[in-house]
Amino acid sequence: MNSRERVLARIAGQPVDRLPVMPITMMFAGDRAGIPYGEYCRDYRRLVEAQVRVAEEFDFDYVSAISDPAREAADCGAKIQWFPNQPPALVEEEALLADKTTLARLRVPDPLGGGRMTDRVQAVALLKEKTAGEKIVEGWVEGPIAQGADLRGINTIMLDFFDDEAFVRDLFEFILEMELRFARAQIEAGADLIGVGDAAASLVGPQIYQEFVWPYEKRLVDGIHAAGGRVRLHICGRTNPILKGMGALGCEIVDLDYFADMARARQEMGAQQVLLGNLEPVGVVRNQTPEAIRAALSACHQAAGERYIAGAGCEIVRDTPPENVRAISDYARACRA
């Protein structure tokens, strides 16, 4: 059973030869390959080089085109600040939609139009070629509130939920169309799985999540499924109040950050939901010993049960000792369920 077969079997509820491993690595992957992160984010060939290398070195079951959340916003015209060896940053003080009336003039960018979205589509295609069916290939899009925050500003959009509900819904409709186009382009390029990052969803209460965010997440997930893709939901932060809603989206995989209660997630999402996580990236994966990491991962696995994939709660930080990352794969290789 190769890596791709292993993950697909786990998603389908079929037997696997060992526990799948799918931690998020971005800056860690770039550093292992000696690639400055600014290049990793700008040049799909460098991203692919780093992803293939780290997957092979640490026996991961997938490769991913994730790099930063500023691709769609940049193609919409948002101002981006670049750094040689850090992720690009959206300039929130000059948010593209600081003036709400700009939305009416905004057009959905073409994901194949030569911008940053195109670079990710090219990364997916090259990852597919380089892994030759051996690994799961993961694309990535932003979720509705995460992208809304990128375009409007995180503090401003939080006020919009109370001050201008109609604008929020119009904005989310725009985002939904954009992200579905982007996801379809990545699926057509060869993505087996589309990650949906919606971290800002952890910052709203369950009422706002259920009324405003969840319906658009659900339409995004359903649209990706209609395009022939599978979905990995990634919401960083304290998600305990919205776990039930996350589980009702129908995603093939749900990531849990270390703030979330794995046993509660299993109870609220049901026995069939595949869960991934939720080792603390800094306090455990970076700072503890391999033995302590394996013990912590065993506890996550026990709480999650059989429908589980090994990984951290969020990105493996760049200065994590390689032996600590290898401890995750070592544990997985020893598990036959």
CATH code of residue 198:
3.20.20.210
Q: What is the mean pLDDT of residues 250-275?
A: 97
Rounded to 5 degrees, what are φ and ψ at 261? -90, 110
Residue with tokens 């080792």: 279
Q: Which strands sit side by side in the sheet containing 62-64, from one edge to the other?
A: 62-64, 136-142, 193-197, 230-234, 253-256, 274-279, 308-312
CA distance 30 to 49: 9
DSSP H or E run through 200: none
Domain that holds residue 164: 3-334
pLDDT on residue 110: 98
84 CB neighbour count, 10 Å cutoff:
8
Domain count, the chain: 1
| Chain segment 123-169, per-residue pLDDT in tens | 999 999 999 999 999 999 999 999 999 999 999 999 999 999 999 99
Q: Is the pLDDT of residue 94 over 90?
A: yes
* CB-based contact 161:105 (threshold 8 Å): no
CA distance 10 to 27: 27
Q: Is the pLDDT of residue 337 over 90?
A: no
DSSP 206: H
